[in-house]
């Protein structure tokens, strides 16, 4: 009986810690008038498609947006599943990198317009917006180097999702397009703020106000995409994206994760807070196994 009680207390503490940690990572909670359970229940009513995660032995996760009938548009259940997969990735201690792609050779056409129509009242809209901002902010802050592999079309919320990744790779003939203006909207999943930080305010204004088609060439010149992959075949392109990512994820897991955490701090925090965070992260690798082994090997960086 005592052991069961101790186990239960332990479980409670772990759960509390996890919830607190997630709250810290989330933008919105009850204090912002946000009721997550309410919107989750609503989103669950709009089903279809799935978000699949495959965690490879080399520390690379492959997240697949899977709703090809609707060009991988996000149904309500897919939004909830994305949150679940992000939680899974937060708890994946062996992870170093992540590739997000869409099933059947296209990325994502945004939110499912059938579901959107049903939640077009202002409270549901605000809650859905907060739900997706929370999820995509947690995705962006994962200690994994992330890549959006854009094949086919990344429209609306799909375009926004690409901006929550560290890098974007495009295949020939693919297109990123913030079509929100044509839907009488602005980005709401945090894609506007992130786009400004990626391409600058002038280019972001052109892409949003013009609902402009961004092909691989333009994306490269804007710095929105890092590379155009040679193949537009789904499987081949995924292999090429994995090879591209490997140049950044090769090495000890603790160090790769620490690198990403330093960049996240630098990207998001005011300078002094970022410097303090960098010091704390430095403390996690200084004198660690990879550092000690390197001191023995004394590599020359020629």
| Residues near ligand LZKTLF4L, by CB under 6 A | 70-71, 73, 109-114, 116, 153, 155-157, 179, 183, 185, 188-189
With respect to ligand LZKTLF4L, which residue has the nearer C-beta, 112 or 166? 112
With respect to ligand LZKTLF4L, which residue has the nearer C-beta, 119 or 245? 119
At residue 166, what are phi and psi to the nearest 5 degrees? -70, -35
User: Closest separation between CB of residue 163 and ligand LZKTLF4L, Å?
Assistant: 12
Element (H, E) at 53: strand 50-55
**How is residue 176 written in tokens?**
């990123």
109 in Cβ contact with 73 (< 8 Å) = yes
State the DSSP code for 73: -
Choose among 48, 150, 54: nearest CA to 98: 54
With respect to ligand LZKTLF4L, which residue has the nearer C-beta, 71 or 229? 71
User: Closest separation between CB of residue 68 and ligand LZKTLF4L, Å?
Assistant: 9
Helix (H, G, I), strand (E, B), or coil: what is residue 233? coil
At residue 299, what are phi and psi to the nearest 5 degrees? -65, 150
User: Closest separation between CB of residue 119 and ligand LZKTLF4L, Å?
Assistant: 9
With respect to ligand LZKTLF4L, which residue has the nearer C-beta, 79 or 245? 79
User: Closest separation between CB of residue 273 and ligand LZKTLF4L, Å?
Assistant: 30
Q: Which residue is nearest to ligand LZKTLF4L (CB)?
A: 110
User: Closest separation between CB of residue 33 and ligand LZKTLF4L, Å?
Assistant: 20
97 in Cβ contact with 249 (< 8 Å) = yes
Question: What b/e sequence results for 57-91 when a residue is b if at least 16 CB atoms lie within 10 Å of its CB, and e otherwise?
Answer: eebbbbbbbbbeebbbbbbbbbbbbbbebbeebbe
With respect to ligand LZKTLF4L, which residue has the nearer C-beta, 48 or 288? 48
With respect to ligand LZKTLF4L, which residue has the nearer C-beta, 113 or 294? 113
User: Closest separation between CB of residue 223 and ligand LZKTLF4L, Å?
Assistant: 23
CA distance 209 to 126: 22
User: Closest separation between CB of residue 209 and ligand LZKTLF4L, Å?
Assistant: 16
With respect to ligand LZKTLF4L, which residue has the nearer C-beta, 86 or 281? 86
**How is residue 245 written in tokens?**
């990512």
């Amino acid at each position: 009986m005592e052991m069961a009680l101790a186990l239960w207390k332990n479980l409670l503490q772990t759960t509390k810690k996890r919830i607190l940690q997630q709250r810290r990572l989330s933008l919105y909670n009850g204090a912002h008038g946000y009721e997550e359970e309410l919107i989750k229940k609503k989103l669950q009513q709009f089903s279809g498609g799935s978000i699949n995660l495959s965690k490879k032995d080399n520390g690379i996760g492959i997240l697949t947006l899977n709703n090809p009938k609707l060009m991988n548009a996000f149904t309500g259940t897919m939004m909830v599943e994305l949150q679940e997969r992000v939680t899974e990735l937060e708890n994946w201690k062996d992870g170093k990198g992540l590739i997000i792609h869409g099933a059947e050779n296209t990325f994502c056409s945004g939110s499912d317009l059938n579901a959107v129509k049903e939640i077009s009242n202002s409270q549901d809209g605000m809650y859905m917006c907060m739900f997706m901002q929370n999820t995509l902010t947690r995705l962006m802050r994962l200690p994994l180097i992330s890549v959006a592999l854009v094949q086919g079309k990344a429209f609306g919320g799909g375009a926004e999702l690409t901006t929550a990744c560290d890098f974007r790779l495009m295949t020939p003939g693919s297109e990123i397009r913030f079509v929100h203006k044509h839907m009488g909207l602005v980005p709401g999943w945090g894609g506007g703020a992130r786009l400004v930080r990626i391409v600058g305010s002038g280019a972001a204004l052109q892409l949003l106000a013009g609902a402009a088609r961004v092909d691989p060439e333009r994306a490269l010149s804007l710095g929105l995409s890092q590379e155009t992959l040679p193949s537009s075949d789904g499987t081949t392109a995924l292999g090429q994206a994995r090879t591209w990512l490997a140049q950044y994820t090769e090495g000890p897991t603790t160090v790769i994760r620490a690198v990403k955490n330093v960049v996240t701090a630098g990207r998001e925090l005011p300078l002094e807070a970022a410097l303090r965070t960098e010091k704390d992260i430095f403390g996690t690798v200084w004198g660690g196994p990879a550092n000690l082994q390197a001191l023995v090997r004394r590599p020359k960086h020629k």
